[in-house]
Amino acid sequence: MDTPKSKKLDIIIPAYRMHSQSFFNALDGITEELALERNNAKTNHVVWMAGNFVTCRYWIANLLGMDEKDPNEAFFKDAMALDEKLEYPSLESLRKDFKAISPKVYKKLLEATDEQLSKAFSFGMNVPFVEENVLNMIGMCIGREDYLLGQIGLMRKLLGLKAMSYEMNEKINY
């Protein structure tokens, strides 16, 4: 396992890597058509969930000072609600975006210093027990990825698919 420069990321690095594996596993077998289905027109569709997941990676990139622009910002900026009037990107396009940004972010996470992670960053929640800094915002992003994976997992069942596999792909090293 790779060792981050900052010990503060010891819990983040394994979660990030597991989420990278889980992203592909959760989407496995979901067609473009199924990815746009909504249960009783009340749930988000899988494309919305996957797009928000990819956006989390861009958020982390920006938190770490990377100059990376989310190509799908118009659809997912600030965790925008699903808009039925929009034509969302394809699931395949989102997979490609994920593959492009995730290794770069992983490298930056490994290089991050305690000083970078401690830098103040307002996420506007005003929770008295959460210090608003880069490290805690990265943690919030990881938590959001967990939430989105759970949504995709539930949608798999609603779409008649088997549960997500936890099989590891050794080629995914980020």
CA-based radius of gyration for the chain: 16
Can you read off the two tokens belonging to residue 35? 């990815």
pLDDT of residue 57: 98
State the pLDDT at residue 78.
87
Reported as a single tens digit per residue, the pLDDT across 129-167 is: 999 999 999 999 999 999 999 999 999 999 999 999 999
Could you tell me which of 113, 89, 109, 112 has the C-alpha nearest to residue 101?
A: 109
In total, the chain counts a number of residues equal to 174
- Measured in whole angstroms, the distance separating CA 170 from the mean position of its chain's CA atoms is 20
- 143 sits in which H/E element: helix 134-158
| Angstrom distance (rounded) from CA 104 to CA 66 | 9
User: How would you write the pLDDT of the chain (174 residues) with one tens digit per residue?
Assistant: 799 999 999 999 999 999 999 999 999 999 999 999 999 888 999 999 999 999 999 999 999 999 999 999 999 998 889 999 999 999 999 999 999 999 999 999 999 999 999 999 998 888 999 999 999 999 999 999 999 999 999 999 999 999 999 999 999 999
At 40 the pLDDT is 87
Domain ranges of the chain: 7-158
pTM given for the model: 0.96
- Give every CB contact of residue 157 below 8 A, 6+ residues apart in sequence: 163
- Second-level CATH architecture of 7-158: Up-down Bundle (1.20)
pLDDT at 1: 76
The one-letter amino acid code at 152 reads I
Q: What are phi and psi of 29, to 5 degrees?
A: 85, -5
- DSSP symbols for 16-73: HHHHHHHHHHHHTT--TTGGG--GGGTSPPHHHHHHHHHHHHHHHHHHTT-----TTH
Contact 5, 111 (CB under 8 A): yes
Residues 6+ apart with CB under 8 A from 167: 25
- On whether the CB atoms of residues 87 and 93 are closer than 8 A, the answer is no
Amino acid at 26: A
Listed residue (137, 157, 143) closest to 37, CA to CA: 157
